[in-house]
Chain A
Amino acid sequence: MAKKPKIKELLDESACAHNKTKKNACNAPVPGATTGGCAFEGAQISLFPYADAAHLVHGPLTCLGSSWETRATETSFVGRDLTQMGFTTAISMSDVVFGGEQKLLGAIDYIMERYAPQAIFVYATCVTALIGDDLDAVCRHAARKYGVPMVPVHAPGFVGSKNLGSRLGGEAVLERLIGTLEPETTTPFDINLIGEYNVTGDMWRYAPLLEELGIRVLSTLSGDGRVARIRTAHRARLNVIVCAKSLISLTRKMEERYGIPSISLSFYGRRDTSSGLLAIAEALGDADLIERTRNLIAREEARLEQRLAPYRAVFEGKKAVLNTGGNKSWSIASALQDLGIEVVATAVKKATEADREKAGQYLGENGVLMMNPGAEQARIIDETGADLLLAGGRSLYTAIKKRIAFADVNQEKKKSYGGYDGLLNLAEDLKNALENPVFRNVARRAPWEK
C-alpha cells in the first residue's frame, strides 16, 4: 500500500518556530477575501524544475493551461527541457463521470513512447482527487511497465496553500525518489541544495564558487535538477535550504532517516551570500575548507566592491521605502543596504515573527516597520524624503503621486539578483529606475485640468 502524506502532520511541523506559539498552524482561506496560490501550484513550483522528467497534470484545463511555461527556471540539461512543456490529461465530462484512470494510463504511455523521460511526476488536482482516481495504482502499474520512477504527487489545490503544496511535493520526492539509487562516488563535501529552483539562473551565480571550494552539489530540489541525482540525495553530508521554509519538513525527515543535518540560508545580496558560503563550510566542519572559504569571500567581496564603485555615487544619500512580504522584507532590505541605499521603512504585514525581528535588526532603530503599508507608505515617503519605492504594481500610483522612482519587486523575474554578480544586476536596475524621468513625466497635469 502506497503511503499518502498526512496533511495534518505536515501542517504541524515541529521544526517550524511559529508552531510553538500558534494554536492553528495554517488557517483555512477566507472565502471572498483570499489571494495566493494553491497546493498544486506549490508542488509545481518545487518539482517542475526537474527538466529530465515529464510533469503530467491529471485534471481539467485550468490547472496547467494557465500555468505552464510561467517560471524561468533554467537548466543545463542537454535533452529537451521538459520543465517548459505542458502535459495534461485535460479531463472531460465523461472522465468525470466514468473516472479518468484509463485516460491517465494512456497519457503516460504516450509520454513514454514519445519523450522517454527519466521519470514522470503525476499531479492530482481537485477534480481528480474528488472523483477518486487512484494515482498510486496507476503509477505503480506504469513504473513496473517502464522501469522508471512514476511519482504520484498528492497536492490537489483545495488542500491548502502553495506552501503546503511545496511540502507535499517534497514528501513525494522523499517517499519515491530519495534513497533509490547510490551515487557512483561520494566526497566529504557533498551537499544537497533544497528549495533552490534556479529561477533566472540564480543558482549559477554562486554554484561555481562552491565548486571552486571543492564543495560538490550532489543533488538539488530542484533547480537545474536531475532525477538520477535526487535519487542519491541520501548520501549527502549536508542539506542546504535556500530561502524556502516550506521544505523544512523534508530536511527534518532526512535528518531523522539518514542523519543529514541541515542549514537554512539565502544568497541574496553581498552579506547573505558571504555568510551563506561560510555557513556551509562551517557546517561541513573542515578547518582547511573554512580557511579557503574566508579567502574566497574576501576576494569576491573586493571584486564586487570594485565593480560596484561606479554605482556608489548614484546611490549616495538615496533613501528607499520597501513594501513587500515574507522574507523579502529583510532580504531585499539587506541587498539595498549593500548597495549603499538607506532603507527607511519596510513592510512587515505579511512577514512571520522571525522575519519581523530580522527586518528590525537590518533597519536599525530609525527604520520603520510598517504594519499597514498601504496607508503608511505615502506619509513615510513625505516625512523621510524617500527617493525610491520598491513595491508591487498596486503601489505604482503612490510613487507617481509622490513623483518618486518606482521598482516593481513582484514583477516576473527576468534576470538574476542572486549571489555577488546578481547584486550588480540589481544595482543596474535600480540606477535605471532612479534616473528614469517617466514617473515625473506621467504625473504631468493635462492642459485641461485645473
Chain B
Amino acid sequence: MGEVKHKNLKPLQVNPIKLSQPMGAALAFFGVGGCMPLMHGAIGCTSFTKVFLTRHFAEPIAIQTTAVTDVTAILDGGDYNIVESVKNITGKVTPELIGLFTTGLTETKGDDIRGVAARIDFPLVHVNTPDYEGALESGWALATKALIDQLVEPTEAIDDEKVLLLPHVSLTPVEVEKIREFIAAFGFEVLALPDLSTSLDGHLGEKQAALSSGGISVEEIRAAASANFVLSVGASMRPSAEALRKKNPFIRHLHFDHLQGLEATDALAALLLKESGRQEPPQGLVRWRKRLQDAMLDSHFSLGQTRFLVAGEPDQIAGLCSSLREAGGRVRVAISTVDSPQLEQIPAEKVLVGDLEDAENLHDEYDLIITNFHGETLSHRLHKALVLRGYPNWEQVGNQLKNDVLYEGGAYFLFEAANAATRWRVEGGGES
C-alpha cells in the first residue's frame, strides 16, 4: 500500500469521473422486479440519467420524474409533485413498487419525503440521495439499505439454504449472475439485492416492457431476512448488510471487499466449503481456477512491464487493482471518485480522490489507463493504452456482459489488459 490522499483540495472538478447519488439509486431500483424509479427533482435530473443509461446499456430505460419547477420548488413541500407523480404513473402502468429518491434540488428545498410517503397509499420505498454528497456507489447503497429497512419483514426464522447477496454498484449484470451461480454451485439458493442480472442484462423480450422486466421480486425482498447469511461485496454495501441483521438477530453477515483475482475468489470458495459442509468443490470451479492460474502466467510478462492508472468507484478500483497486482501489473495511480475506507486497502503506489485532470497531471507515471468512456480522449491525447471499465461506456456495446470477477472473469480481465498493453507497445508505446 502506498500513499493515500483522502481529500482533493481543488475548488472544482475538471473532467469528472464521479457520478451522482441519484443515478446510483435509480440503478438499484432497476434491479427490483416491476419497480418504477421516480426521481424527485427537475426534469433534467431524470432526463440526463435516462439518456446516460440508455446509451450505456443500449436499452430503453423506464424512469420517471416528479418534474419540480421553479414555482413548485418554492411553493410546494414535495407533496404536490410526488402525489401527482404517483397518480400519473399508476394511471398508466401498475408497478409492483415505486422507488422514490431525491436530488440536490429537493434536498436543498428540504422536502420531507418520508412524511409524504406515509400519506401515499401505494407500495413505495423512499430514500434521500442529494447529489451534493456521495456518488454513484453510495446512491446505490443507500437505495439498497432503504429497500431493506422499509420492505423486509422481521423474523427469527432461518432458512439454511438461502443466501442473500448484496453486490456493489459497479458489478455488471453478468457479474452478479456469475457470483450468484458460484454460490449456488455449493448447494445454496441465492438472491441478489439489487439484481441487475435479469433486468439490465440486455435480453430480447417479447415486447417493450414499460417497467423493469426482471430483478429480485418485491416478495423475495420482503422475505429476505430468513437467509442463512448475507454476503456483501464492496465496502459500500456493509451498512445494507447491517440493516438486514436488524431484521433478524440470527442472520450472519459475511463480507468481501471485492471478488476479483485468485486470492479473493479462493477466500470465497473456502468460505462456501465451510458453510456448505462440503468436502469437494464443484467441478467447473476447479477447472476455472486452473485456467485463471494459467492466465496469470500467460499475462504476467506483459503486465509486469506495464504501469497502470485505474480510476473509478472505490469498490470497483479495489478489485481491479488487486487482480492486476496479483499477476504483476504495476498499479502506479488509483483515482477514486470519493473517499472510502476501501482506499487504504488498494494495492497501488498512489491512491487519491480526484478526477481525470489529476490523471492527466500524473501522465508520466503510467502506460495504460483503466477507466470509463471519458478516458478515451485522455488516452489519445497522452498516447496511452486503454481498457474501458465502469459507467459510462458509450463507445462499446456489450457492457452488460463484461465479466471480471471470480476465477473465470479474472482470466478474461487479465488477458484483455495484457493484450491492450502489448498492442500499445507494438504500436509505438507512447511515442507520439
Contact = CB atoms under 8 A, between A and B. Distances in A.
Contacts of A397: 205, 207-208
Contact of B23 (A66, A111, A161): A66
A411 to B, nearest CB: 9
A103 B80 CA distance: 34
A62 B22 contact: yes
Interface string B39-82: 00111110111111011001110001111111101000000111
Contacts of B14: 85-87
Interface stretch (B103-111, B182-190, B255-263, B411-419): B103-111
| B12, B13, B15, B41 interface centre (most CB from chain A within 10 Å) | B12
Nearest to A129: B70
A100 to B, nearest CB: 10
Given A32-B86, A87-B14, A126-B73, A412 B104 contact: no
Nearest to A34: B67
Interface in A153-176: 156-161
Nearest to B54: A393
A1 interface: no
B110 to A, nearest CB: 10
A60 B130 contact: yes
A186 interface: no
Interface residues of B, number: 67
Given A34-B67, A127-B104, A158-B70, A62 B15 contact: no
B66 A31 contact: yes
Contact of B38 (A32, A63, A87): A32
Contacts of A65: 13, 16, 18-20
B133 A38 contact: no
A68 interface: yes
A157 B42 contact: yes
A412 B394 contact: yes
B20 A62 contact: yes
Nearest to B90: A32
B133 A92 contact: yes
Interface string A191-225: 00000000000000000000000000000000000
B132 A32 contact: no
A96 interface: yes
A203 to B, nearest CB: 22
Interface in B74-116: 80-82, 84-89, 92, 103-105, 108-109
A145 interface: no
A129 B16 CA distance: 22
Given A29-B43, A86-B13, A106-B11, A35 B50 contact: yes
Nearest to A106: B11
Contact of B43 (A38, A61, A129): A38
A129 B44 CA distance: 15
Interface in A42-67: 56, 59-67
A31 B208 CA distance: 23
B49 A158 contact: no
A157 B44 contact: yes
Interface in B6-29: 10-16, 18-20, 22-23
Interface in A68-120: 68-70, 84-93, 95-96, 103, 106-107, 109-111
B315 interface: no
Interface string B352-376: 0000000000000000000001100
A63 B44 contact: yes
Contacts of B309: none
A32 B66 contact: yes
Nearest to A115: B14
A33 B109 contact: no
Contacts of B85: 31-33
A130 B73 contact: yes
A131 B73 CA distance: 12
A40 B208 CA distance: 30
Given A61-B18, A61-B131, A95-B132, A34 B105 contact: no
B135 interface: yes
Contact of A85 (B15, B82, B87): B15
B377 interface: yes
A371 to B, nearest CB: 18
A394 interface: yes
Interface string A261-291: 0000000000000000000000000000000
Contacts of A68: 15-16, 374
Given A31-B66, A130-B105, A60 B131 contact: yes
A298 interface: no
B48 A61 contact: no
A432 B387 CA distance: 30
Contact of A36 (B12, B47, B52, B204): B47
Given A64-B16, A69-B374, A126-B104, 5 more contacts: A62-B45, A69-B377, A88-B12, A89-B13, A106-B11
21 contacts: A28-B71, A30-B67, A32-B86, A33-B88, A33-B89, A40-B44, A41-B47, A60-B20, A65-B16, A66-B52, A86-B374, A87-B13, A92-B133, A93-B133, A111-B12, A156-B70, A158-B69, A160-B69, A393-B58, A397-B207, A412-B55
Q: Which 10 A-B pairs have the closest CB atoms?
A: A38-B44, A32-B85, A106-B11, A32-B88, A157-B44, A60-B104, A107-B12, A157-B42, A158-B42, A29-B67
